Homo-oligomer: A and B are copies of this chain.
Amino acid sequence: MQRILSTELATQEIGREVTIAGWIHRRRLLKSVAFLIVRDAAGFSQVVVTEPAVREQLEQLTEESVVEVTAVVTANEQAPNGVELTGPAIRELSRVAVPLPFEMHRPALNAGLAAQLDHAALALRHPSRAASLRIAAAATKGFREALEAQRFVEIHTPKIVESATESGANVFKLDYFGRPGYLAQSPQFYKQLMVGVFERVYEVGPVFRAEPSDTARHLAQYTSLDAEMGFVTDHRDVMAALTRTLAGMLGEIGGETRIDGEIPAVHFSEALRIAGAPADEPDLAPAHERALGEWALREHGSEFLYVTGYPMRKRPFYTHPDPADPTWSNGFDLLFRGLEIVTGGQRLHRYVDYVAALEKQGEPLGPYAGYLDAFRYGMPPHGGWAIGLERFVARLTGIANVRETTAFPRDLNRIAP
């Protein structure tokens, strides 16, 4: 017999025999009747048990045991979707023989974060935890589809690199066939090189930061949604593509937060004024970002705000300066509810500009040889962005700790499961 999903029950003919399968989410063993709630990937089914032999079987099958239930579809206004299953035959697929570390059948998962992470494979089954992973999957799908509609091509780049170049510190070192190697902190250089091949590229992949601080915002591995595009006039072309991409992500997620039309943008110097910060501040502090978030909502009715033109001295060496005033950059951040969730901008594209930028920082060219090679052989004006998937989902859902938006987080203290 073909198994059906819990969500398909309501469309079945009353009186028909069907088979469902899933986890025992909850048993309610009353005196004359027992109720069994079976959880599958789609939702829940209610099974009514009155036969003594089946009741006895159910008493042995504790919560999270996996069962297949063949029973009759019966109308009951009290049951989920007005349908329950009666007269069941239960086939045991997997029996749980130990107590669960925490209860799974409550509406909220009543367990500390450490316990949840220690038993992640169990905790993630709770609908509240699974929901944010589904949102992450939808965000990623929306990201890809919006980019492919804009001619971007998917790439896969190396996660093991020769030099600890970009942002230098906080890099994981490994033994690469007897010589040092490092885990890539971003696909930045590679996605730029691939602009030379496909003009527009994107990558969804892991990046690694040996972040020594144990905060609610940092992960040692996270999923980076990267894009890079060539033949731009400046960073505004990049922002337009990002806006369209974010709209696609939010559309795919299907929640209340949407982007219709443009996202407001303010220059960094104006942002400082709005946030009440001194005019010579080199960066935005969290309090400034929050103030800007409130301002954008108040003045523009927008939960999103671009801040453009960050000072060159606070942006990486490959950032393209503002041609009108090279103190400022063609770099931007995107704030969402007063928190930075995307960083992007226009990059340098001429070899001589790279050589000058690295010399200015007192950096040798050697470690960048493979990267600079592409720029010797002709690269168009280009720019791009990176979105941290987990932070984006956390901000969207209101989850305070980014560890709850990924299945098996890695941090300063955690490398398992």
Residues of chain A touching chain B, judged by Cβ–Cβ distance below 8 Å, are 3, 21, 23-24, 40-41, 64-66, 93-98, 100, 119-122, 124-125, 130, 133-134, 136-137, 140-141, 144, 148, 151, 153-162, 172-177, 179, 181, 183, 190, 193-194, 196-200, 204-206, 208, 210, 212, 220-221, 223, 231, 349-351, 369-371, 373-381, 389, 406-408, 410, 412-413, 415-417
Contacts and interface: CB of A to CB of B under 8 A. Distances in A.
Given A154-B140, A176-B415, A379-B66, A197 B160 contact: no
Contacts of A125: 196-197
| From A65, A177, A381, residue with most partner B Cβ within 10 Å | A177
Nearest to A151: B41
A121 B179 contact: no
A415 B156 contact: no
B175 A373 contact: no
A410 B158 contact: yes
A381 B22 CA distance: 11
Contacts of A161: 415-416
B65 A378 contact: yes
Nearest to A127: B197
Contacts of A100: 377
A370 B121 CA distance: 8
Given A130-B197, A175-B174, A119 B380 contact: no
B206 A156 contact: yes
Contacts of A374: 121-122
Contacts of A3: 231
Contacts of A160: 172, 183, 208, 220-221, 410, 415
Contacts of A21: 231, 380
B373 A119 contact: yes
B376 A198 contact: no
A179 B172 CA distance: 11
Given A121-B377, A206-B156, A172 B175 contact: yes
Given A144-B144, A155-B407, A172-B181, 4 more contacts: A125-B197, A156-B223, A162-B416, A204-B204
A378 B23 contact: yes
B137 A154 contact: yes
Nearest to A351: B97
Contacts of A174: 172-175, 183
Contacts of A350: 94
B415 A179 contact: yes
Nearest to A194: B407
A48 B282 CA distance: 50
Nearest to A174: B174
Nearest to A197: B124
Contacts of A124: 194, 196-197
Contacts of A379: 66, 94
Contacts of A66: 349, 378-380
A162 B417 CA distance: 8
Contacts of A190: 407-408
Nearest to A413: B177
A237 to B, nearest CB: 11
A398 to B, nearest CB: 21
Given A97-B351, A151-B41, A415-B162, A196 B156 contact: no
10 contacts: A24-B378, A119-B377, A121-B194, A121-B377, A124-B197, A158-B408, A176-B415, A177-B412, A193-B417, A194-B407
